[in-house]
Amino acid sequence: MGIIKAEIDDETKKKLWKKAFEKFGYSRGSVSLAIKEAINKWLEEKESGAEDIEKERILNNLAYLKMKDKLVEEYEGKYVLIANGKFIAAADTFDDIVRIANEKAGTARHRLIFKVERKMLGRKGRLGWRIKVKGRAGTT
């Protein structure tokens, strides 16, 4: 076990102590337990590549926003795959686009797969929902 010294502002210190005591009780090691938990959570996030996934998500959503009108014109009613910040393919069925996604974008950490519909033209902001992926799409 080691000792790490760090400086934090007073407001952060107050919040830390309050949350530590709420979670771990008013005992001597509460703040240490809270700091240890926070550091472990931060390390897990860094090891999992969460920042890389977030970058890919942003690139994919920007690509979608740039080509939204074109997608409706050319691929209405079809399923579309966007990965690595670009359009990859379109297919008639969801199963087909998942197969293509696993073949052509198998290494992508984030992919957009959706059915192109005219009502997309009125949407603003990002497409889709955030999910935690345990395996590849289309596999059981």
Instruction: Report the chain (140 residues): mean pLDDT per 10 consecutive residues.
Output: 88 94 92 92 76 89 94 95 96 96 92 90 55 50
Q: Which is nearest to 20 in space by CA: 5, 37, 42?
A: 37
Residues 33 and 76 in one domain: no
Residues 111 and 90 in one domain: yes
Residues 71 and 93 in one domain: yes
Residues 37 and 80 in one domain: no
Residues 41 and 64 in one domain: no
Query: Is 43 within a domain?
Result: yes
Give whole-number Cα distances, 95 to 3, 90, 100, 121, 129, in Å: 53, 11, 9, 25, 19
Cα distance between residue 6 and residue 63, in whole Å? 41
- Token pair 């240490």 is at which residue? 32
Residues 20 and 57 in one domain: no
pLDDT of residue 139: 47
pLDDT of residue 106: 87
pLDDT of residue 123: 54
Residue 36 belongs to domain spanning: 10-48
Query: Is 91 within a domain?
Result: yes
pLDDT of residue 130: 52
Residues 42 and 67 in one domain: no
Residues 97 and 39 in one domain: no
Q: Is the pTM of this model over 0.75?
A: no
Query: Is 73 within a domain?
Result: yes
Residues 57 and 117 in one domain: yes
Query: Is 90 within a domain?
Result: yes
Overall domain count for the chain: 2
Residues 57 and 29 in one domain: no
Report yes or no: 119 and 72 within 8 Å, Cβ to Cβ.
no
Residues 118 and 58 in one domain: yes
